[in-house]
Structure 1
Amino acid sequence: MYSLQWHRPLMLLAIAMAMLTIVAIGGTVIDDRTLTGLPIWAKAVKFALSVLIYAVTWAWLIDQFTRWRRIAWWAGTVAALGLGLELIVIVVQIVRGTTSHFNFTTPVNAALWDTMGLSIIVVWLATLVASLALFRNATSDPARNAAIRYGAGLSLIGAALGMLMVFPTKAQHDTGSAIRGAHTVGLPDGGPGLPILGWSTTGGDLRIPHFIGMHAVQLLPLVVIVLELAARRISAVRPASVRAALVTAAAAIYAAVLAVLTWQALRGQALIHPDRLTLSAAAIIATAATGSVLMIVRRRPRVEPTAPEPPRTPIGAM
């Protein structure tokens, strides 16, 4: 159960983000302004939800620590402050009717973007420190350890991929544009996009690998939950060593998908219009994934487990 006692600054941030989500959804209904092809409050909705998930996840994780707990607590606090500042800038710019990212059109806009960029770097470094502390706090379940550790590592990589967006495009450089940086590769920002998400349907979009990577720390633990539920009925995945191997394979597959999505975006190719190279890479990943899963579940563990089934407790009760 969620508790403010997990990590108070992060949980307070989560509450603030839940409130902002409601306000921003209301804004999309009553405010008819658009920005880069989307309702002007859509960015606040997406960022608030993402930060809400981040805050609850890390508040829960830090609460489990027995080693480096104080260091992790301060890292979480710094991250909460940085994320709060980032969302303040986004909301301020929405109210002002302009973009928050890559905006150097006026001294005020440039100062706000610089502030936001600094806060993003601080949050990444704080998350790195918390992730290092995470590696010092192993549980008794190797599958859970693998999911949380690989998830944290991939999340850091995904967050770092956001740096690919901050460099001026060739067109911006050639024209001396006051907008320096872009989400879309090969086309200007603001073209046709997927509903709600806004990801480009005509060009490469670096937000896709950025988003997928950042949320590995939530998605990989879900694999553990599925495996633990499956182990109650399927004897092949009951041994802890088998579940740990499957989680490791899932992390490797996740990393491969993240690499392909980044490669696809950098080539200026829309997610929903893959070419033969992208489809071939996807086929290789799917084949490798199927083969590795079959090999793992068919391999007999060296020592048969004595326990008939895995723990029934939720993943949060470590």
Structure 2
Amino acid sequence: MAGASLLTLLDDIASILDDVAVMSKVAAKKTAGVLGDDLALNAQQVTGVNADRELPVIWAVALGSFRNKLILVPAALLISAFIPWAVTPLLMFGGLFLCFEGFEKLHHSYRHRKDQPEESPEVHEQPEITDWVAFEAEKVKGAIRTDFVLSAEIIAITLGIVADKSLSTQFLTLAAIGIVMTIGVYGLVAAIVKIDDAGLYLSQRQGESAITQFNRKLGFGLLSAAPLLMRSLTIIGTAAMFMVGGGILTHGLHIIGEQIHHAEQVVETVSVVGPALALLTPSILNGLFGVLAGAVAVFLITGIQKLRNKS
């Protein structure tokens, strides 16, 4: 009797794990776009620190990301069980926050360039950093804050996929996606920010063999590409804020979401380039809506702060 019960238990466990594996694969495909944005944003967020501090900073952000998941997974299960209607408003608030941060960066960059002396427009030096500990702490704090919003979207998308499954399957799938996504994102972020170190190592290889010469050329290529890649990540990361944040907002505002879907269907009918345009259209329109939403949020908060200062 006990043996039969044990076999039944093992069969139930195997069934649950099989469901978790299937649901995790589906969730990974659904969240792949958010994962790409998460990668660009976090790689951009941790740039600017000293080279010997890049990996410790990434590790600190990764630990913060794990803490975010420890908060988000139980919260998602509780919200889904008791107040499922709150998922969309909370996500929209997070999306608006991303748009706000993105536009605030653009606004700050514009003001910085505007304040530069007109007689030396070619000078765009970064302000000197005197307190590197505080600078790193601020970098880590900002990256963890951004990670929280993106992790919330990943968890929400995954929860929507497993909503009709048992509580144990939901929990295990959310946990699996959270762990895999965090390791994947920050592993790739670490690889990206250390490209220049890899290039320096390869460029200093000694010898005249074909492989060694190839390694040196590859190293010089990586050294040349690293600054361009990091500058590109700054642009991509800011654009990702608008696309992800705007996408969350348009998904919650069904009227706007339907118009974007209609625009996607219209451009798809264009000969030859239609399919490519259909892929790009939602991201572009979501990004533009994110810029608009971020601008409104920044100017509203700036206006409120000015009124408070006057009072």
Structure with more helix by fraction: 2
Q: Which has the larger radius of gyration?
A: 2
Fold conserved (TM > 0.5)? no
